[in-house]
Amino acid sequence: MRVAAIVLAAGEGRRMGGPKALVRLRGSSFVSTVARLFDRADIAACIVVVGAEAERVASEVGPPPGITVVVNERHALGMLTSVWAGLDAAEALGADAVLVHPVDNPLVAPATVTAVLEALAAGAIIAVPSHAERRGHPAGFARVAFPALRAAPPTGGARTVLAAYPEWVVHVPAGPDCLVDIDTPESLAAARLALENRGQDAS
């Protein structure tokens, strides 16, 4: 199965005070961190969808090489427009499935990505990591789900596909890492504190 990762990095980040893709944590921007997360042999391509401050965000993508950067001119109309732009690129690259991942989830563990990929390889149409009965990221979509993603209303986003086709959804057990959205200064401060405490515990 040829899988492409779609990193959604087009938002303005109004609550954060600027694009979340440019926020730095552990010495690296969110967009660079997430791109490295998907730099692995079982993911054929990484597509970063940019929009707000597109040139700055694209310049921050950095290594690994071979990333496809797509500019979504309609990003103000909602995150789903970035999913559509990513799907266009993924299909052009011959993807059989995609992982959709918002850039403001930079702390997802590689094991979570592996679990979602394994569920897709086992035949899941939609695979979603879950922890404590809450859905997280990245969500995996097999090619058969692409038309449903394209038909979803922009205001509802990809969540409407999960709601409309519950029989497609496989919930993959994962750790709390899949739930960590960092989209406000307060959540960023909490993430930094948690990482600092974790480092102290390890020392």
Place of tokens 């997360």: 37
> Residue 194 has what pLDDT?
87
The tally of CA atoms less than 13 A away on the side-chain side of residue 124 is 22
* 115 phi/psi in degrees, rounded to 5: -65, -40
Place of tokens 């679990």: 115
Residue 47's pLDDT band (boundaries 50, 70, 90)? very high
**In this structure, how many other beta carbons lie within 10 angstroms of the beta carbon of residue 104?**
25
> Residue 196 has what pLDDT?
85
Closest by Cα among 28, 191, 179 to 108: 179
More confident residue, 194 or 10: 10
Average pLDDT value for residue range 139-155: 95
> Residue 199 has what pLDDT?
65
Has residue 202 got a pLDDT over 50? no
**Alpha helices for 53-184 (secondary structure H):** 54-61, 79-92, 110-121, 146-151, 159-164
Condensed to tens digits (0 to 9), the pLDDT of residues 113-126 reads: 999 999 999 999 99
| Residues 6 or more apart whose Cβ sits within 8 Å of residue 78 | 154, 155, 157
Condensed to tens digits (0 to 9), the pLDDT of residues 94-112 reads: 999 999 999 999 999 999 9
Percent with pLDDT over 90 in the chain: 88
Question: Tokens at residue 141, please?
Answer: 């979509």
Condensed to tens digits (0 to 9), the pLDDT of residues 49-68 reads: 999 999 999 999 877 777 99
> Residue 120 has what pLDDT?
98
The CATH T-level fold of domain 3-202 is Spore Coat Polysaccharide Biosynthesis Protein SpsA; Chain A (3.90.550)
pTM: 0.94
Is residue 7 helix, strand or coil?
strand
**Domains of the chain: which residue ranges?**
3-202
Task: Tell me: cis bond preceding 110? Omega within 30 of 0 counts.
Answer: no
Has residue 152 got a pLDDT over 80? yes
Average pLDDT value for residue range 175-187: 94
Paired residues of 46 in beta bridges: 5
